[in-house]
Amino acid sequence: MILSPMRYKDYVWPHNPRVYAITFKRPVAAHKVPFGTYVLQNLGRSFRALRGEGEFCGAGAYDEFKKLATVFYDNEPGLLIHPIWQNAKAYFVSLEVNQEPTEDYVKYSFEFWECYDGYTAEVRQVAEAAPADDAGSAPEPAYYTVVSGDCLWNIAKRFGMTLDQLLALNPQIKNPNLIYPGDQIRIS
């Protein structure tokens, strides 16, 4: 099987790294409760990491490594395209030479961390609930329109609720992992 070349930003590997590992993490906290038992708390999905090793061989190997190092020095995240991993915005967090390089051989290792852009420091008003009238009727529900890159978890967090609360307001959602841009999600 021929795999497509690995890419990050505008750098394309001349041949894919020899070894790589993809790590998925879910932090879990253990809390002691009375009478010698405990309860586990799921702290949510953490970042994914792609680590690997490779070699540049032949004429110009050291120059190729310098090109890769130049990409590492850019501080902004970029699009990482790996032949078996989903495309992801990622930070290039580590680049290491694993032995003394020569002009025609460089052995290196690297690490990328997936970037999540769902958080923002910007404060914005999304919807203002209408006050109840004197008859005591409930305010009109507020809705959010799904945009590309949204997931229910980040929509719930954005509006200060849990995923379960958001799903309770939206019984039409049968699969919480499947929403589309343009969908209307009730948020109050």
3-state secondary structure the chain: CCCCCCEECCEECCCCCCEEEEEECCCEEEEEECCCEEEEEECCCCCEEEEEEEEEECCCHHHHHHHHHHHHCCCCCEEEECCCCCCEEEEEEEEEECCCCECCEEEEEEEEEECCCCCCCCCCCCCCCCCCCCCCCCCCCCEEECCCCCCHHHHHHHCCCCHHHHHHHCCCCCCCCCCCCCCEEECC
Worst-scoring range by mean pLDDT, 7-11, 16-20, 71-75, 174-178? Answer: 174-178
pTM for this entry: 0.57
At residue 92, the pLDDT reads 95
Model pLDDT for residues 103-154, shown as the tens digit of each residue: 999 999 999 998 876 555 455 555 555 555 555 566 788 999 888 878 888 8
Q: Which CATH architecture describes the domain 7-114?
A: Beta Barrel (2.40)
At residue 53, the pLDDT reads 95
Q: Where, residue-wise, is CATH 2.40.30.200 in the chain? A: 7-114
Model pLDDT for residues 84-93, shown as the tens digit of each residue: 777 888 999 9
Question: What CATH number has the domain spanning 143-186?
Answer: 3.10.350.10
At residue 133, the pLDDT reads 55
Q: Where, residue-wise, is CATH 3.10.350.10 in the chain? A: 143-186
